């Protein structure tokens, strides 16, 4: 019986794919889970594995674009084959070997006859040795991408921590997954031999099979029953070890996919005139559709005698290294970009500025920092002063701590302060919960803890959601002044900057003081100018006289 191979669902918004390349030929014997084709959508490239052992019969030609669910091939002899009575007497040895197939466990004659029936491969010899290929001593367990959050629909395989074919133990971490919000570790669900189903760097949907674990033993002793047929197995073994059967597609910068190549040929556009946006710079179908001919090119080729090469060759303007690198944007970076643009377009954002004399805080830190660290085990930084000042001001101006939800305004009677942290993979904003109830040392300890988790890429989604107000410190990088963008759905963000010795007037005299510019960006739809300016002035007062924070005045 033939098994139909259909195009699987590869993403919610993807309705069609292109057969980029057939990795196995029509009429060729294939094994279960062996990659037979490469599919290309408008977003990514996918590999299509065989669902069972059998002989491949291709229905759709390479380069064609088809819808999800379309039948593209058949696998003859893949299920309970009907050729058992005729094939079993003619090939007793292969049938015995096939009965050892772990997929068939206990069904000797039907499975053996079905596999013996496709012995006439182009490479010659019976295909029974294929059925006798490595037994794993158990079934195959599929490892799927688990649900990691309500709003997360896809993840990227950031890194395989265990190579393909490696022995893994149950609960051992085999891969690192990256979403648009956090990084997760994927443990093995059982002990056995790991088989990758997705390449490193690919973005896949929740629930997709990412790998399989074959039962406990690597299967080195399994081929023993097939020893008498070693001569027949050699061509098949050579086929399995060839680059084509390994499922590894070769990519190169500027090389078009079959579908893209066809479109470029019809347009008469050279591949050198198209910039590829696919993996490793490959030219995708969308690149080809968007490509335009260069009108100046024919004129340059039509006048070779006019010596246009002289100015080009005589202008060695760039003699240094001019290499370019193309890297796929991470989900985190894409999400940050999307949200920042959304905030700019959907809010009435405005920024107000003020400056703070940091001398009182610096004097206080100099006087007590050693005793503070000895008692609490953490240094006394600026962040605790700013967080406490912000919490006091938010209580007095609650609209700055509120947010818009449809046609309602949600006021928060607590202060969950988000702290912007520059992590290795991008900007993250962990949250200090109920900061208004924390002491100076409690805030400093929480800042250190969250910053450490961020730099180790171990922050969870819960630790980065639910903030009511954000503080960002561009001064650590030397920023003098900036207009920070609101962290939606919040309504305001406070920007700290570097501390610079500047002349100011105090009591009618010019003195030098360590000054910092403060910037408050706010959503003018919910926060009026009076509230925003008054909030920032209150923060300034509390910072310039920190005893107010201790006395609550």
Output the CA angle 141-143-147, nearest 5 degrees: 145
Average pLDDT over residues 61-81: 80
Alpha carbon of 383 to those of 417, 469, 496: distances in Å?
11, 14, 10
What is the C-alpha separation between 147 and 355, in angstroms, rounded?
A: 46
Per-residue pLDDT at 327: 83
Say if residue 92's pLDDT is above 80: no
Query: What local confidence, expressed as pLDDT, does residue 311 receive?
Result: 52
349 confidence band (pLDDT: 50, 70, 90) = very high
Q: What is the pLDDT of residues 397-454, one digit of tens each?
A: 999 999 999 899 999 999 999 999 888 777 889 999 999 999 999 999 999 999 999 8
Supply the pLDDT for residue 297.
45
CB–CB of 52/118 below 8 Å? no
- What pLDDT is attached to residue 241? 40
pLDDT of residue 356: 96
Domains of the chain: 135-221 (2.40.50.100), 258-301 (4.10.320.10), 332-551 (3.30.559.10)
Distance CA 117, CA 538 (A): 85
Strand, helix or coil for residue 33: coil
Summarised one tens digit per residue, pLDDT across range 220-258 is 444 444 443 343 443 434 333 443 333 434 445 677 776
Query: Does 143 have pLDDT greater than 80?
Result: yes
Confidence of residue 279 (pLDDT cuts 50, 70, 90): low
Count of CB atoms situated within 10 Å of the CB of 506:
10
Query: Residue 522's beta-bridge partner residues?
Result: 350, 492
The answer, yes or no, to whether residue 121 has pLDDT greater than 80, is: no
- Which band of pLDDT confidence, cut at 50, 70 and 90, is reported for residue 106? very low
The pLDDT value recorded for residue 126 is: 39
Alpha-carbon distance of 198 to 186, in angstroms, equals: 14
**Ranges 64-73, 148-157, 430-439, most confident:** 430-439
Please compute the mean of the pLDDT values over residues 305-327 and round it to a whole number.
67
pTM: 0.50
| Confidence band, pLDDT 50/70/90 cuts, at residue 105 | very low
| C-beta contacts of 217-223 below 8 A and 24+ residues apart | 217/136, 217/137, 217/193, 218/134, 218/136, 218/165, 218/167, 218/193, 219/134, 219/135, 219/136, 219/137, 219/193, 220/134, 222/100, 222/132, 222/133, 222/134, 222/135, 222/136, 222/137, 223/132, 223/133, 223/134
Stretch 187-214: mean pLDDT: 89
Percent of the chain with pLDDT over 70: 74
- Could you tell me the maximum CA-CA distance found in the chain, to the nearest angstrom? 112
Residue 87 has pLDDT above 60, yes or no: no
Higher pLDDT, 253 or 501: 501
Mean pLDDT of the chain, nearest integer: 78
Q: What is the mean pLDDT of residues 168-188?
A: 85
Least confident of 99-108, 171-180, 210-219, 346-355: 99-108
What value does the mean pLDDT take over residues 510-534? 95
Q: Is the pLDDT at 103 greater than 50, yes or no?
A: no
Confidence class for position 114, pLDDT limits 50, 70, 90: very low
Do 489 and 506 contact (CB within 8 A), yes or no? no
**CA distances (Å), 475 to each of 37, 450, 495, 519, in order?**
52, 19, 9, 12
- The pLDDT of 5-18, averaged and rounded, is 80
CA distance linking residue 521 with residue 481, whole number of Å = 12
Residue-level pLDDT at 458: 86
Mean pLDDT, residues 319-345 taken together: 83
Residue 302 CB: number of other CB atoms within 10 A?
9
Catalytic residues: 524, 528
Q: How high is the pLDDT of residue 123?
A: 41
**CA–CA distance from 91 to each of 53, 96, 110, 526 (Å)?**
18, 9, 13, 82
pLDDT tens column, 369-389? 899 999 999 999 999 999 999
Of 290, 283, 291, the closest CA to residue 258 belongs to 283
What is the pLDDT at residue 238?
37
Work out the average pLDDT over 256-284.
75
Confidence class of residue 81 from pLDDT cuts 50, 70 and 90?
A: very low
- Mean pLDDT on 475-479: 89
pLDDT tier at 129, thresholds 50, 70, 90: very low
Mean pLDDT of all residues in 253-271: 75
Q: Calculate the CA 430 to chain-centre distance.
A: 20
Under a CB-based contact definition with an 8 Å cutoff, are residues 86 and 100 in contact? no
In this structure, are residues 55 and 118 in contact, taking their beta carbons and an 8 Å threshold? Answer: yes
Residue 281, pLDDT above cutoff 90: no
User: What interhelical angle do 359-376 and 440-455 show, nearest 10?
Assistant: 80
Sign of CA dihedral 99, 104, 110, 113: negative
Least confident window among 14-28, 94-108, 163-177, 477-491: 94-108
């Amino acid at each position: 019986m033939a098994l139909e191979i259909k195009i699987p669902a590869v993403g919610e918004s993807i309705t069609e794919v292109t057969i980029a390349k057939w990795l196995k030929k029509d009429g060729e014997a294939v094994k279960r889970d062996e990659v037979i084709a490469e599919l290309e959508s408008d977003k990514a490239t996918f590999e299509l594995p065989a669902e069972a052992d059998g002989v491949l019969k291709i229905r759709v030609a390479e380069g064609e674009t088809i819808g999800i669910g379309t039948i593209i091939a058949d696998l003859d002899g893949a299920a309970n084959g009907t050729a058992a009575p005729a094939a079993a007497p003619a090939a007793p040895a292969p049938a015995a070997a096939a009965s050892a197939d772990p997929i068939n466990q206990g069904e000797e004659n039907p499975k053996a006859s079905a596999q013996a029936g496709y012995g006439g491969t182009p490479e010659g010899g019976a295909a029974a040795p294929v059925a006798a290929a490595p037994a794993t001593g158990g079934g195959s367990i599929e490892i799927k991408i688990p649900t990691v959050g309500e709003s997360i629909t896809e993840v990227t395989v950031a890194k395989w921590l265990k190579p393909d074919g490696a022995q893994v133990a149950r609960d051992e971490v085999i891969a690192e997954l990256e979403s648009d919000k956090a990084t997760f570790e994927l443990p093995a669900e059982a002990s056995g031999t790991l088989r990758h189903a997705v390449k490193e760097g690919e973005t896949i949907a929740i629930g997709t099979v990412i790998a399989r674990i074959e039962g406990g033993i690597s299967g080195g002793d399994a081929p023993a029953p097939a020893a008498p047929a070693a001569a027949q197995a050699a061509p098949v073994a050579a086929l399995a070890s060839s680059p084509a059967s390994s499922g590894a597609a070769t990519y190169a910068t500027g090389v078009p996919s079959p579908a893209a190549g066809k479109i470029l040929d019809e347009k008469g556009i050279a591949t050198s005139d198209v910039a590829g946006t696919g993996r490793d710079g490959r030219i995708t179908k969308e690149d080809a559709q968007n490509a335009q001919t260069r009108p100046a090119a024919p004129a340059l080729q039509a006048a070779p005698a006019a010596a246009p090469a002289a100015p080009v060759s005589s202008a060695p303007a760039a003699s240094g290294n001019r290499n370019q690198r193309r890297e796929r944007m991470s989900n985190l970076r894409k999400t940050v970009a999307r949200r920042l643009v959304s905030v700019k377009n959907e809010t009435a954002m405005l920024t107000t500025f003020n400056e703070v004399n940091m001398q009182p805080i610096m004097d206080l830190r100099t006087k007590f920092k050693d005793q503070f660290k000895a008692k609490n085990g953490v240094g006394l930084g600026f962040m605790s002063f700013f967080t406490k000042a912000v919490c006091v001001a938010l209580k007095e101006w609650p609209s700055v701590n509120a947010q818009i939800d449809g046609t309602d305004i949600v006021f928060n009677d607590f202060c969950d302060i988000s702290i912007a942290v520059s992590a290795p993979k991008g900007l993250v904003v962990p949250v200090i919960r109920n900061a208004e109830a924390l002491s100076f040392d409690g805030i400093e300890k929480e800042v250190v803890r969250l910053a450490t988790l961020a730099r180790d890429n171990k922050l969870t989604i819960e630790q980065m959601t639910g903030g009511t107000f954000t503080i960002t410190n561009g001064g650590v990088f030397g920023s003098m002044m900036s207009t920070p963008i609101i962290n939606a759905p919040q309504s305001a963000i406070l920007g700290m900057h570097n501390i610079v010795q500047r002349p100011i007037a105090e009591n009618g005299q010019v003195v030098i003081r360590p000054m910092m510019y403060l910037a408050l960006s706010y959503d003018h739809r919910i926060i009026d100018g009076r509230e925003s300016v008054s909030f920032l002035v209150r923060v300034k007062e509390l910072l310039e006289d920190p005893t107010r924070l201790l006395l609550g005045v």
